[in-house]
Copies of this chain bind each other. A is one copy, B any other.
Amino acid sequence: MDISDLKRMLIGEPFPTSQEIHERLDKVRALAVFASDPISSNAYATEAIMSVLIVLGSGALSLTMPLGLAVAGLVTLVVFSYIQTIMHYPMGGGAYMVSKDNLGTLPSLFAAGALLTDYILTVSVSVSAGVRAVTSAFPELFEYRVIIALTAIMLITWINLRGVRESGTIFAIPTYAFVVGVWVVLVIGLVRYFGFFEAAPIPVFEETTPAVVSATGFAYVWILLRAFAGGCTALTGIEAISDGVQAFKPPESKNAAKTMLVMAVMAMSLFIGITFLSTHIGMIPHEGESVLSQMTRRVTGGGFIYYWVQFFTATILFLAANTGYQDFPRVSSFLARDLYMPRWLQNRGDRLVFSSGIIVLAAIAALIVIVFQANEIAMLPLYAIGVMLSFSLSQTGMFRLMGRIAHLKPGETLRTQVTEVHYERNVMWKRALNALGAVVTFTVFLVLLFTKFLEGAWLVAVLIPVLVFAFLTVHRHYERVAEALSTKDLKAEELTEVANVVVVPIADVHRGTLLALQYAKRFSSDVRALSVTTSDEQRERLMRRWERFPEVTSDITLVTIDYDYRDILRPIIRYIELLNNEEFSNKLTTVVVPEFVPEHQAARILHNQTANRLRSRLKHYKDIVIIDVPFHIDSKL
Known A347-B566, A487-B514, A511-B495: A480·B633 in contact at CB below 8 Å: yes
Interface membership of A626, Cβ < 8 A: yes
Question: Can you name the residue of chain B whose Cβ is closest to the Cβ of A485?
Answer: B510
Instruction: Please give the distance in Å from A561's CB to the nearest CB on chain B.
Output: 14
16 A-B pairs within 8 Å (CB atoms) are namely: A14-B566, A350-B567, A477-B635, A477-B637, A480-B635, A485-B511, A487-B545, A487-B549, A490-B511, A490-B514, A492-B551, A515-B588, A523-B523, A625-B629, A626-B627, A627-B627
Query: Is the beta-carbon distance between B634 and A619 smaller than 8 angstroms?
Result: no
> Which listed segment binds B: A43-51, A53-61, A94-102, A597-605?
A597-605
A208 contacts B by Cβ under 8 Å: no
CB distance from A289 to the nearest CB of B (A): 38
Determine the distance from Cα of A523 to Cα of B567 in the docked complex, in whole angstroms: 33
Contact of A603 (CB < 8 Å), options: B350, B477, B624, B633: B477
A518 contacts chain B at the CB level, 8 A cutoff: yes
Are B566 and A349 closer than 8 Å at their CB atoms? Answer: yes
A552: CB under 8 A from chain B?
Answer: yes
Q: How many copies, total?
A: 2
Q: Which of B495, B522, B603, B633 contacts A484 (CB 8 A)?
A: B633
Contact B514 A495 (CB under 8 A): yes
User: Is A419's beta carbon under 8 Å from chain B?
Assistant: no
Q: Give CA–CA (A14, B511) in the complex, Å.
A: 33
- A136 close to chain B: CB less than 8 A: no
Contact check, A630 vs B619: say whether CB atoms are below 8 A apart: yes
Interchain CA distance A514-B598 in the complex, whole Å: 34
Residues of B within 8 A of A522 (CB): 498, 523
- A454 CB–B CB distance under 8 Å: no
* Known contacts A342-B606, A564-B18, A606-B342; A484 and B511 CB within 8 A of each other: yes
Distance A487 CA – B552 CA, assembled complex (angstroms)? 13
Q: Which of B597, B625, B633 contacts A519 (CB 8 A)?
A: B625
Residue tally, chain A, CB below 8 Å to B: 76
The distance from the CB of A71 to the nearest CB of chain B, in whole angstroms, is: 41
Residues of B within 8 A of A474 (CB): 606
State the A residues within 8 Å of B (CB): 14-18, 342-344, 347-350, 352, 473-474, 476-478, 480-481, 484-487, 490, 492-493, 495-496, 498, 509-512, 514-515, 518-519, 522-524, 534, 545, 548-549, 551-552, 564-567, 588, 596-598, 603, 605-607, 609, 619, 622, 624-637
Q: Which one of B510, B628, B633 contacts A625 once the chains associate, using CB atoms below 8 Å? A: B628
A344 touches B477 (CB 8 A): no
Query: Separation in Å of the A461 CB from the closest CB of chain B?
Result: 25
Separation of A549 and B17 alpha carbons in the complex (Å):
31
Q: Are A512 and B485 CB-contacts (below 8 A) given A16-B565, A498-B519, A551-B492?
A: yes
B-chain residues with CB within 8 Å of residue A486 when the two chains form the complex: 510-511
The residue that A509 contacts in the complex, of B477, B487, B498, B626, with Cβ under 8 A, is: B487
In Å, the complex CA distance between A609 and B344 comes to 8
